[in-house]
Structure formats: C-alpha cells, structure tokens
C-alpha cells in the first residue's frame, strides 16, 4: 500500500458528550480557518465550547485527535450525534496544498472503512457517506467550509474515492481511537480487523506548547488584543468575525489609526509596539 496516514497524537478536548446511542452515519470535512497549533489549542480549552474529532496540519504530515471517535464532538450543531468531524488547517480563500488534501482524503477514506460507510457524497447532508460542513446548511451551523464550489468539492471527493479504493485492497491499518483518547482507555473502531492494536504513532504529549501564531495573522492579532486588554473576552480562534472586527476598530481608534477593522500593515506595527 502506498497510501500513508499522518502521524497521530492526542490532545484531548473537554468539549464532548455522549452520542446517546446514535449511529455514526457521516464523516464531515471542515477547514479550521486558522492554524493547526491554534485550532488544537482552542479545542483544548473548555471556554471555547467547540471541538472536532481530528485536526490535520498544514503540511498533511501530522494530525491530532481531540475527541474519541465514539463520542460526540461539538462541530456541526444538529448533526453532532451522528457524525465525525475532521478539520484541516488553513484558510479556504488561500486554498490548501496537494499534500494536505491528499492526507485529508486518506483520513476520510479510513474513517469510511472503519465505520462501514459507503464512499458516497452525502450531498446536502442526506444519507450515509462523506460531505463538507457547507453541505449541512443551517442545521449544521450555516458554515461555508470546506468549500462552496461544487467543482472544487468534486475534485476533492475524487481523491477520497481513490484513497477509499486503495484502503479496500488490504486490511485496514490501525490509526484513530474509538475509545477515550487516553492510553488507558483504548478500543478499536467497529470495523477494525481482528487483532487490532493501537498504532505506535498514537501517543499523548503532556505539556506540549503550541507554536506561536504567525505575526500579522488573525489569531496573532486576537491574542495581542486580549493581552492588551482591548477585549479580554475575545475568542482567539483565528476567525475574522464581527467581535474581532469590533476589537480591532477599538484599538485603531485608540491609537489614531484609520478605523476600518482590518488587520493591515499599520495596525500590525501598532499591535507589535503596544
């Protein structure tokens, strides 16, 4: 088999709950609209009140499991009980590397096999299979990730189909954990082969410090705005939402800058100097 899954670690999130007996029917493709390290760090905070089962790094070589696959992550509103959420780092407007998309396709294909789901596009969130967060509409939170462009999604889904076919040729390799993300509470996915054992790449790394966000990024600006006391309650999630825009405008107004809510060059310099 030439297909490779990324190295997997565990950073458990406190934001999960029981599926209440609901059957897993769909795998949901998300994008973080932020960095890998920042997203994993955010999911690990109880105050965020959000999570995903898996997060993939920008280069596609590393992944973090935040919630056991058998539990309900908080990623897709009404669809949480019956879905598994996979986030990829980065921003939709900037696009994603071929390496990251290939690794994401491999993860989605592995999950489809592990849970006995068909490799089909569950368009508009209907039926079993895989779909984007965007497919879920308002019941899924009204998000646009991983893309709103049918052509882009179809091209990505073709990657998933190819990975699914390749996995189908051999026994499914051990990878994600169905049970609680802890070395002391491991159980295999329902469809894992006899004799399944947790992969040697699955490990818990206590005390790991996430890499700092890139200077000038939305996450960096949010953290600076919180540190400076502009808005101590601002969510540091890497998303350029209304709350972030308002905080940026408050900072710009206080420092004699053009008040447009945009983290531009002058605002970045001022945030660094403050």
| CATH homologous superfamily for the domain 218-273 | PGBD-like superfamily/PGBD (1.10.101.10)
As separate numbers, helices (DSSP H) first and strands (DSSP E) second, the chain gives: 6, 9
Output the pLDDT for position 194.
Answer: 60
What are the extents of the domains in the chain?
7-204, 218-273
CATH 3.40.80.10 holds for 7-204: yes
The H or E element containing residue 150 is: helix 150-167
Output the pLDDT for position 175.
Answer: 86
Indicate the pairing of strand 62-65 with strand 54-56.
antiparallel
Q: 77: which DSSP letter?
A: G
Residue 40 has pLDDT above 60, yes or no: yes
Q: 171: which DSSP letter?
A: P
Between 110-114, 166-170, 195-199, the lowest mean confidence (pLDDT) is in 195-199
C-alpha–C-alpha distance, residues 71 and 98, integer Å: 30
Q: Which tens digits make up the pLDDT trace of 242-272?
A: 889 999 999 999 999 999 999 999 999 999 8
CA-to-CA separations, 73 to 60, 92, 120, in angstroms, rounded: 22, 22, 22
Residue 155 has pLDDT above 50, yes or no: yes
Residue pointed to by tokens 């945009």: 262
- Whole-model pTM: value is 0.70
Sheet of 62-65, strand order:
129-132, 26-31, 83-88, 54-56, 62-65, 7-10, 203-204
In contact, 191 and 213? CB cutoff 8 Å: no
Q: What is the mean pLDDT of residues 140-149?
A: 92
Burial annotation 244-262 (CB, 10 A radius, 16+ → b, else e): beebbbebbeeeebeeebe
Residue pointed to by tokens 């780092």: 89
Output the pLDDT for position 269.
Answer: 93
């Amino acid at each position: 088999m030439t297909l490779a899954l990324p190295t997997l670690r565990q950073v458990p999130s406190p934001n999960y709950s029981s599926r209440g007996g609901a059957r897993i029917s769909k795998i949901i493709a998300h994008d973080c609209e932020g960095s890998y390290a920042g997203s994993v760090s955010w999911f690990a905070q109880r105050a965020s009140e959000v999570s995903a089962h898996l997060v993939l790094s920008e280069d596609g070589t590393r992944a973090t499991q935040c919630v056991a696959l058998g539990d309900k992550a908080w990623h897709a509103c009404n669809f949480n009980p019956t879905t598994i959420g996979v986030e990829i780092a980065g921003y939709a407007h900037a696009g994603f590397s071929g390496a990251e998309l290939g690794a994401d396709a491999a993860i989605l294909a592995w999950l489809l096999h592990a849970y006995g789901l068909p490799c089909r596009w569950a368009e508009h969130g209907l039926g079993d299979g895989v779909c984007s967060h965007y497919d879920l509409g308002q019941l899924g939170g009204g998000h646009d990730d991983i893309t709103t462009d049918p052509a882009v999604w179809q091209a990505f889904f073709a990657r998933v189909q190819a990975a699914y076919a390749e996995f189908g040729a051999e026994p499914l390799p051990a990878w994600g954990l169905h049970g609680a993300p802890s070395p002391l509470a491991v159980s295999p996915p329902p469809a894992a082969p006899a004799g399944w054992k947790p992969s040697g790449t699955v490990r818990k790394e206590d005390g790991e410090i996430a890499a700092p966000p890139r200077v000038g990024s939305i996450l960096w600006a949010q953290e600076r705005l919180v540190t400076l006391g502009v808005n101590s309650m601002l969510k540091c999630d890497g998303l350029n939402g209304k709350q972030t825009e308002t905080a940026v405008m408050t900072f710009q107004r206080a420092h004699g800058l053009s008040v447009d809510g945009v983290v531009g060059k002058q605002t970045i310099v001022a945030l660094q100097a403050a």
